[in-house]
Structure formats: C-alpha cells, structure tokens
C-alpha cells in the first residue's frame, strides 16, 4: 500500500546486525562463535538482497564504541573480517558488486585496511549492486570528520559557506557516493540506533526484528521489505498530498 509512484522495494537497506553474543550465550558457546555464524548471515543477507532487487545494502559491522569490548573479542572480530574479505573478493567480482567501506577505516589493523582498499579498488567499476560495510563507524565521528574536511575545503577556496546547503555539505560524509537508506532493520529486538547513520536515516522507515543476527534469513529480509511496502512515506506532507484521491 505504498503511495503511488513510491517503489515497494527499497533501493537502499541498512542493517544493524545485532545479537551474535546472545545467540552464542544461549548455546553455551563463546561469543566469537556467534560472530562466526554472523558472517554466514552476511552472505545470506547479501544474496537475499540481490534476489529481491535491493541495489544498496549497508551493514553495521563494528562501531567506534566496540573497541571497548574485551581485547580477545576485538581481535577475533578483526580476524574474521580479514578472512571474510579475502574469501569474498572473487564473489563480489563474479556477482558484479561494488564494495564500499565507511568509517575511520585507516585506524583498523593494517592488514584489514589494506584488504578494504584492495576490495574497493577491484570492484570500483561496478555500478548496479552496492555493498557497504560500516567499520570503526560512528555517526558523531562522521560529522566531525565531515566538518573537518569541509573547513579545509573552505580554507582552500573550494567551498563557500554562504552557498552551502545540505546537498553540498553531505558530499563530505563517508556516504557521499550512496543514496540515503530507505529502510533500516535492527535485529535482536533492541530498539535503538547506536550511533549509526544518524543523518542519513532522517527519513528512513525502521523495522525492528526480534531475530538474532546469526538466525537471520531471506524470510526475515522479505518480512521487513513487506512491512516497508505497507508504510506511507510522507516527508512532512499530508497523507492527502502523498496519495491524491479522485478530484
């Protein structure tokens, strides 16, 4: 029942992948086992997104706050990430998926950082499918980084504050190449944003799923997309304006 002219399939879906630790704890397993299974769900979600025709998928994988977790968990996560990137590059190339990383990626371990650059470089020429991983990402950090880059541009005479609106300023965000998410999904039943894409989610529809991330399937993605299709996006207008009836 989306409004006329509003596609019922979101162009860009962002996901806060949450619940790996609880999934493991419920089974008496170490937290890292939950993360390992979480990587399988990443593969499932990417394939499902392509099958549903979702062109942009963005996954929150590691926040700036997550460094405060136990050292063993942090290094385990970095190891999994490295392994994942090494294994997946050929799949991205085969499926013609452009890979992006957003966040303060330069502060990640050198091996991970190098693989991110290589994966971005090897897939740079693909245009249809886009997969973005948010790594060492925080929305507040992103605003600080954007403000810093913008200030430098002003100082260099490349930007003019008197002529800067949102369209101009948003080019300094990590997501300059990406459209805003249409749909945000958070798994594991938590009802919060946890410093994810605060500005880009300004008009996103939100779906909170009780499923723990390692249990996430195509059916969960389909259910969220169906829910999205039932929403009416008004962007500040009235319902009558968005769905004009007969005169």
- Could you list the active site residues? 18, 66
77 binds Mg ion (CB under 5 A): no
73 φ, ψ (degrees, to nearest 5): -70, -45
Of the pair 10, 38, the CB lying nearest Mg ion is at: 38
Q: Whose Cβ is closer to Mg ion: residue 63's or residue 200's?
A: 63
Number of H helices, E strands in the chain: 8, 6
- Residue 190 binds to ligand IPE (criterion: CB under 6 A): yes
Identify residues 82-121 at the interface with Mg ion (CB under 5 A). Answer: none
Here the tokens at position 52 are 């549903």
CA 213/CA 94 separation, integer angstroms: 26
Q: How many residues does the chain have?
A: 247
Residue ranges of alpha helices (H) inside the chain are 20-26, 31-52, 71-95, 110-123, 139-155, 166-169, 218-230, 239-242
- Of 2, 10, 17, 18, the one binding Mg ion (CB under 5 A) is 18
Interface map 51-90 toward ligand IPE (x if CB under 6 A): ---------xxxx--x----------x-------------
Work out which of 10, 12, 13, 18 binds ligand IPE, going by CB under 6 A. Answer: 18
Which residues bind to ligand IPE, rule: CB under 6 A? Answer: 16-22, 60-63, 66, 77, 188, 190, 192, 194, 213
């Amino acid at each position: 029942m989306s409004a006329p002219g509003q596609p019922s399939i979101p162009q860009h879906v962002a996901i806060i992948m949450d619940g790996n630790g609880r999934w493991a704890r419920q089974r008496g397993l170490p937290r890292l086992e939950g993360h390992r299974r979480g990587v399988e769900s990443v593969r499932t979600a990417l394939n499902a997104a392509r099958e549903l025709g979702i062109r942009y998928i963005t996954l929150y994988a590691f926040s700036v706050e997550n460094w405060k977790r136990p050292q063993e968990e942090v290094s385990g996560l970095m190891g999994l990430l490295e392994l994942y990137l090494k294994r997946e590059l050929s799949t991205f190339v085969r499926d013609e998926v452009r890979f992006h990383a957003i966040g303060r990626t330069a502060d990640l371990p050198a091996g991970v950082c190098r693989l991110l650059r290589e994966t971005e470089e090897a897939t740079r020429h693909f245009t249809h499918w886009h997969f973005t991983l948010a790594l060492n990402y925080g929305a507040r950090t992103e605003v600080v980084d954007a403000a810093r880059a913008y200030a430098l541009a002003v100082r260099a005479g490349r930007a003019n504050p008197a002529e800067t609106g949102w369209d101009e300023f948003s080019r300094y965000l990590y997501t300059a190449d990406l459209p805003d998410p249409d749909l945000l999904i958070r798994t594991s039943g938590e009802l919060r944003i946890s410093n994810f894409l605060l500005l880009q989610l300004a008009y996103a529809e939100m779906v909170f799923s009780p499923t723990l991330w390692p249990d996430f399937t195509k059916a969960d993605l389909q259910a969220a997309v169906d829910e999205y299709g039932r929403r009416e996006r008004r962007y500040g207008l009235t319902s009558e304006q968005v769905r004009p009836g007969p005169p």
